[in-house]
Structure formats: C-alpha cells, structure tokens
Amino acid sequence: MLLVNSLTVLLSIIPLCQAASPIVIFPGLSGNRIEAKLNKTHTVHYLCTKHSDWTLIWVRASEFLPEVVDCWADNMKMLFSNGTFYNNSGVQIRAPGFGNTTTVEILDPSLETITGYFSTFVSHFANLGYKRGINITAVPYDWRQSPDTLDKQGYYIKVKGLIEKMYNTSGGQKVTIVAHSYGGPISLYFLTQLQLFVHF
C-alpha cells in the first residue's frame, strides 16, 4: 500500500517537472532480481544444486518450496569475519539489469501478475513517450550489502556514469532520481559521497 500511494504521488508530480526529464530508479530492499552462480563442494540438503551457471534466485517461487527453501537460504546468506561481509563459499551473487528497468518491473517473470514492482510506474512513463533503457532506467544492486560496501565494489561509479550518459543523451535535461525504501539511503550515500551538485 505504501508503494502504491508513493507511486500515485510521483505519477502526479513528475509530469509537472521539466519535460522529458530522464528518470533513474533506485529500487528498495528486495526490489530487484538477484542471480547466483554456484560452484559448491557441499550443500545443506540433497535437493540442493552444487553447480550452476547464473540463475535467478530472487525472486523465484520454486525456491520457496519446503526443504528447497533451505538451499535458497544457504545461497543467499552472508558470512562475517574481520569486519567484512562476504558470500557463502562457492556462491557468486549479482544484480542483473543495470541500466534497464526489466529487473525492477517484474521480480519473477513466471509470476508477473503478483510480482510486479515498478511495472506500473515504468509503463506510465513509457505511455508518455519514455524509452526503457534510454531515458528511464534503473540501477539494481545487491540489496544484502551496505551502502559503503557497494561503494567499495564500484557500484556508485557505474551509477554516476549512467546518469552522466542520460544527461548528455537528453541534451542536458536534469535527471530525476526516484528512490523507494532502501533505495533512499543508497541514493543519498551516492549523492553525498560523490559530492554531486543537485538542484531541486
């Protein structure tokens, strides 16, 4: 309900801003797809897969079946040592779809009707003439990580590059940042750490 109400306000306000202002979406906690690549020596259950190429694990309904959910939890969990969080052994994690909106519009492609997230928002602007991946984009991230960890991984450098590209492509239109939930502190950290000049 909060997201629906927030989007209603945004859909009312943004068209009043400068025409065709490019939009960058910072999704919230669990608000974009996550993929895993496995090369594990052991698993927590005989049903679990030890080896796989990149595959969707958030969100995919089949991952939450009884007992199978233990596999999911083991792949998603993070370990902590010497002040650092890291993935479980044999697990690589990534957030696909950077610079597009696909992985924040629908979280599980097999269940579009119940896992829609930013689909209504993006579709609204697409109907106004916005182009996905051109002047309306998203910057998905590994939402298990803290803002400063994402900084160390080079996430914000990519965000800065995308925003500058959108600004230049649009002929110098100011870029609008839309952030939901955890996307708020993520975007705030980005603006603070890179010391960008923003005008409201």
Between the alpha carbon of residue 11 and those of residues 18, 23, 66, 102, 200, the distances in Å are 14, 12, 40, 19, 17
**In this predicted model, what pLDDT tens digit does every residue of 129-159 receive, in sequence order?**
999 999 999 999 999 999 999 999 999 999 9
Which residues, in sequence order, are CB contacts of 154 under 8 Å at separation 6+? none
Task: Mark out the alpha helices in 64-200 (DSSP H runs).
Answer: 68-76, 102-105, 119-127, 147-152, 155-169, 183-193
Specify the amino acid at residue 47.
L
200 confidence band (pLDDT: 50, 70, 90): very low
Which residues, in sequence order, are CB contacts of 99 under 8 Å at separation 6+? 133, 137, 138, 139, 162
Between the alpha carbon of residue 90 and those of residues 124, 145, 188, the distances in Å are 41, 18, 33
pTM exceeding the 0.85 threshold for the entire prediction: yes
Q: Measured between alpha carbons, how far is 99 from 103 in angstroms, rounded to an integer?
A: 10
At 19 the pLDDT is 60
139: its two tokens = 């910057």
At 5 the pLDDT is 43
Among residues 45, 56, 43, the alpha carbon closest in space to that of 109 is found at 56
Q: Measured between alpha carbons, how far is 119 from 109 in angstroms, rounded to an integer?
A: 12
**In this predicted model, what pLDDT tens digit does every residue of 31-85 receive, in sequence order?**
999 999 999 999 998 889 999 999 999 998 888 888 889 999 999 999 999 888 9
